[in-house]
Amino acid sequence: MKILAISGALRKDSHNTQLLRAVRELAPKGMEIEIVTLHGIPLYDGDEEDKHGVPESVKALQARVRAADGIIISTPEYNFSIAGVLKNGLDWLSRSGNPFKWKRVGVMGASGGPVGTARAQYHLRQNLVGLEAITMPKPEIFVGNADTKFSGGKLTDEETKKVIQTWLAAFQEFVTKA
């Protein structure tokens, strides 16, 4: 099973990219996870799209989304919503053929705040409805107080690792039943 994991943050030391690395390390047998970021995706501009078409960086990511059996998106929470870079990336990806249509998607996120990325995840779920993705409803992962759960770029919190393993088993079943 090929899973594409998209980090909604650009920071090199982002808790969300670190979370996806932990997900990849904890993946069950038979699940291959490729992590990508949205680096190189330009700001969406319809005039530029009309003049030059969809950028190559977007086409390459669209191809990866299409080729994956399932998608995991890890979103930060900025001002009670998803990061602009993630929304921009999803907007670009939906252009010239929507690779998310009927794709199985799992949502998660990590934040330094106590509620994790709960509000951002619900906004992301709304956006995924517009993309015609099929989003896993449960279980959910809201990694709050992330500063205490990661060290040196690695997830160190054993309870969070257990939650991830439970989530991954459910996601594997969700994708398999597509």
Determine the pLDDT at residue 96.
Answer: 83
- For 23-46, letters b (16+ CB in 10 Å) and e give bbebbeeebebebbbbeebeebee
144 by DSSP, 3-state: which? coil
pTM over 0.75: yes
Determine the pLDDT at residue 29.
Answer: 96
Domain region containing 22? 2-176
Number of residues that make up the chain: 178
Q: Render 103-135 in DSSP notation, one character per residue.
A: -EEEEEEE-SSTTTTHHHHHHHHHHHHHTT-EE
Q: What is the CATH number of the domain that holds 14?
A: 3.40.50.360
Cross-strand pairs, 70: 3, 104
Spatial distance between the Cα atoms of 154 and 135, rounded to a whole number of angstroms: 27
> How many domains does one find in the chain?
1
| Full pLDDT tens readout for the chain, 178 residues | 999 999 999 999 999 999 999 999 999 999 999 999 999 999 999 999 999 999 999 999 999 999 999 999 999 999 999 999 999 999 999 998 899 999 999 999 999 999 899 999 999 999 999 999 999 999 999 999 999 999 999 999 999 999 999 999 999 999 999 7
Q: Are 16 and 110 in contact (CB under 8 A)?
A: yes
Spatial distance between the Cα atoms of 139 and 136, rounded to a whole number of angstroms: 8
What amino acid is encoded at 166 in this protein? T
Determine the pLDDT at residue 178.
Answer: 72
Determine the pLDDT at residue 69.
Answer: 98
